[in-house]
């Protein structure tokens, strides 16, 4: 979550605390009672989205790295011996497709790499019975398929998490926008108490301080 949003929510909670601490002063004014209720509800909604917006994708990112490494390792391990079959049969197109290295694959973006290792698997599966003499066994090719499938699944999961996080951030933006409107009305209502200690405390609570990221515990 952005620091500006966190600071705004901290201000909102300080304002609500101030109102609750001075409840005897305003509980007889129905419109303020209603507005404080809106503030309380709005903060709860924003807090929920703020917690969800900080969802950690570290685990998924690590899974992606591991899956990528394994897919590259197996693709290179099997494609190199298989390229000899292509040479023996003077199939230069196949030889070129199978002439890969760890370095060349490692430089590819994720989607391009996925398509590349998929293509390598397809070639190997078509010539599986012909490359046994090169030391490439059917179970090796099956292991490559598993690695490719795992890599594709992990990429999809990470993409879904990013989309989900974007949606939550948009909801947080809407919740904060609602809170601004709620506080604007409350500011007008609170003008009635101008000149009192209560009003001074309220004005101080409404100041947005740059406190950095200080996540509240989810209750």
| pLDDT at 45 (0 to 100) | 86
Residues 109 and 12: their CA atoms lie apart, in Å, by: 43
pLDDT, residue 63, reads 85
Residue 89: per-residue pLDDT: 92
pLDDT at 174: 85
Question: Could you count the other beta carbons within 10 Å of the beta carbon of residue 182?
Answer: 21
98 CB neighbour count, 10 Å cutoff: 26
CA atoms within 13 A on the CB side of 118: 10
> What was the pLDDT predicted at 172?
83
* Residue found by looking up tokens 């990221």 in the block: 213
Residue 209 CB-half CA count within 13 A: 10
Distance of CA 50 to the CA centre of its chain: 13
The residues of the chain scoring below 70 in pLDDT are 1, 52-59, 159-166, 168, 211-219
pTM metric for this prediction:
0.50
For the record, the structure tokens of 199 come out as: 């009003």
- Measured N-to-C along each axis, helices 3-21 and 138-190 cross at an angle, to the nearest 10 degrees, of 40
Of 62, 58, 95, residue with least CA distance to 79: 95
The values of phi and psi at residue 2, to 5°, are -65, 145
For tokens 């609750």, name the residue: 20
């Amino acid at each position: 979550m952005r620091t500006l949003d966190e600071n705004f929510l901290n201000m909102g909670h300080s304002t609500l605390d101030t109102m609750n601490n001075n409840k005897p002063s305003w509980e007889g004014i129905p419109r303020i009672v209603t507005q404080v209720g809106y503030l309380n509800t709005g903060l709860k909604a924003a807090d929920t989205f703020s917690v969800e917006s900080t969802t950690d994708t570290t685990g998924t990112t690590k899974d992606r790295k591991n899956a990528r490494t394994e897919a590259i390792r197996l693709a290179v391990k099997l494609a190199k011996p298989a390229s000899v079959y292509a040479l023996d049969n003077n199939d230069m197109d196949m030889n070129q497709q199978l002439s890969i290295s760890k370095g060349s694959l490692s430089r590819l973006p994720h989607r391009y790499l996925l398509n590349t290792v998929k293509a390598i698997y397809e070639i190997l599966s078509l010539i599986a019975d012909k490359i046994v003499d090169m030391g490439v066994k059917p179970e090796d090719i099956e292991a490559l398929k598993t690695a490719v499938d795992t890599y594709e699944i992990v990429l999809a999961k990470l993409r879904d998490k990013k989309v989900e996080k974007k949606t939550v951030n948009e909801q947080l933006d809407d919740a904060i926008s609602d809170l601004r409107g709620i506080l604007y009305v409350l500011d007008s209502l609170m003008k009635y108490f101008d000149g009192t200690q209560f009003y001074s405390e309220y004005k101080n609570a409404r100041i947005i301080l740059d406190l950095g990221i200080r996540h509240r515990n989810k209750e």
